[in-house]
Amino acid sequence: MAQLILQAGKEKSLLRFHPWLFAGSVDELEGRARPGDTVDVATASGKVLARAAWSPSSQIRARVWSFDPDESIDHAFFKRRVAAAVARRASLPALREQQGVRLIHAESDGLPGVIADRYGDTVVIQLTSAGADKWRGAIVDSLHRVTGCARIYERSDSEVRGLEGLEPTSGWLLGDAPANEITIDENGVRMAVDVVSGHKTGFYLDQRDNRRLLGELARDKRVLNCFCYTAGFSLQALAGGATEVVSVDSSGPALVTAQRNLALNPQLAAERAIWHEADVFTDLRERRKAGEQFDIVVLDPPKFAPSAHHAERASRAYKDINLNGFRLLAPGGLLMTYSCSGGIGLELFQKIVAGAARDTGRTARIVQRLQGCADHPIDLAFPEGEYLKGLLVQVD
């Protein structure tokens, strides 16, 4: 096995059990290793600390599989890790009855670059690192054996694969495409899941609890849902008794799916739903000029800052939408605002939202901090895993 030698003093993150090794911490690679191969990670003095997946094309040169230098990285390793991740979800009462659940959350489940989401009897995987890509067969077999799922679909089509020197790939790895559309029940609402063409693995499971919270807040309220995608927040608001829900997105196909989702739920008052295809930035300004007001405004935009390099430009975008979101709120109204950008930390995000409130001259208070669900855990040694952050803010 090849050995990755660290520069002197660069082992500190490893000793804190952080799973990433950046190019700047590497001295040399002794021996030969292909992308995705397992290498021993050693200090400058020669002490082996971990076993990791080698990725020469990435600035993250290696991702740690195990901090036990004697643990074999083989098929049995992946079966153990997959089984442990699934068992952790099964131990949490809030997740046991969910039809849509994240089973593996990459580094936070000890499987860097591996995402697995279950939608009923279908599991969708996303492999974003060289190591995960190399062990595709073991990961798929382990998921099938542990979950008993009928089919597994791969959605390894994200841009981050390019940083690993990997081509995008997708397709059915186990079983065939289902005869009928995949749907799940989430908090009493039916939702269609497009595992082939939808965002991420087909659905945004990380917002499940926050969508339920909106439903609890929406009774007798007028709600504006921006960047609505397939209307997860919108339908929960309708289920909660909102008097009107205005949903805005720039994607016509997403709105078509959103309306199809509404049709899956005949118990909801369809006449209270308004759909609008528009650029959200422009739409917010036009509604402000028209003097509209809402009791609740939801801002759940796409990723504006994939890395800290994009933070400045992203900050301006977040400031813009939150500024106009505050201006559209009626007295006592609530703003549910989110960022899924890894390059925007919670502290910076709160500063942006606070600046937007200040510029509107409104007094605002954080009622609740919002985050991902229990099936999206955050390893204490890996704070980068906390990509989704949100605030529930009330204005005077």
Return the pLDDT at 107.
Answer: 98
Q: Which residues share a beta bridge with 370? A: 390
Question: Which of 149, 226, 340, 373 is an active site residue?
Answer: 340
The two three-digit tokens of residue 344, written as one number:
């925007």
CA 38 to chain centre: 27
Return the pLDDT at 293.
Answer: 98
Is residue 116 predicted with pLDDT exceeding 80?
yes
Question: Using CB atoms within 10 A of its CB, is residue 12 exposed (0-12), middle (13-18) or buried (19+)?
Answer: exposed
Mean residue pLDDT of the chain comes to: 96
Q: Which residues share a beta bridge with 4? A: 29, 41
CA distance 70 to 236: 49
Is residue 250 predicted with pLDDT exceeding 90?
yes
Q: Which residues share a beta bridge with 383? A: none
Return the pLDDT at 280.
Answer: 97
Q: Is 340 a catalytic residue?
A: yes
Is residue 306 predicted with pLDDT exceeding 80?
no
Instruction: Note the pTM of the prediction, 2 decimals.
Output: 0.94
Q: Are 153 and 176 in contact (CB under 8 A)?
A: no
More confident residue, 302 or 210: 210
Is residue 309 predicted with pLDDT exceeding 80?
no
Averaged pLDDT for residues 215-240? 98
Is residue 37 predicted with pLDDT exceeding 80?
yes
Domains in the chain, start-ordered, CATH in brackets?
3-66 (2.30.130.10), 75-174 (3.30.750.80), 194-395 (3.40.50.150)
Q: Which tens digit of pLDDT belongs to each residue from 156-191?
A: 999 899 999 999 999 999 999 999 999 999 999 999
**Dihedral of the CA atoms 145, 191, 168, 38 (nearest 10)?**
-40
Q: How confident is the model at residue 303 (pLDDT cuts 50, 70, 90)?
A: confident
Reported in sequence order, the residue ranges of the chain that DSSP labels E, i.e. its strands, are: 3-6, 20-22, 26-30, 38-42, 48-54, 60-66, 100-105, 114-119, 122-127, 151-156, 169-174, 183-186, 189-192, 222-226, 244-249, 273-277, 294-299, 329-339, 364-371, 389-395
Checking DSSP bridges between strand 222-226 and strand 244-249, what pairing results, if any? parallel
The two three-digit tokens of residue 341, written as one number:
């950008």
Is residue 41 predicted with pLDDT exceeding 80?
yes
The two three-digit tokens of residue 89, written as one number:
């979800």
Query: Which of 59, 71, 73, 69 has the alpha carbon at shortest distance from 132?
Result: 73
Is residue 289 predicted with pLDDT exceeding 90?
yes
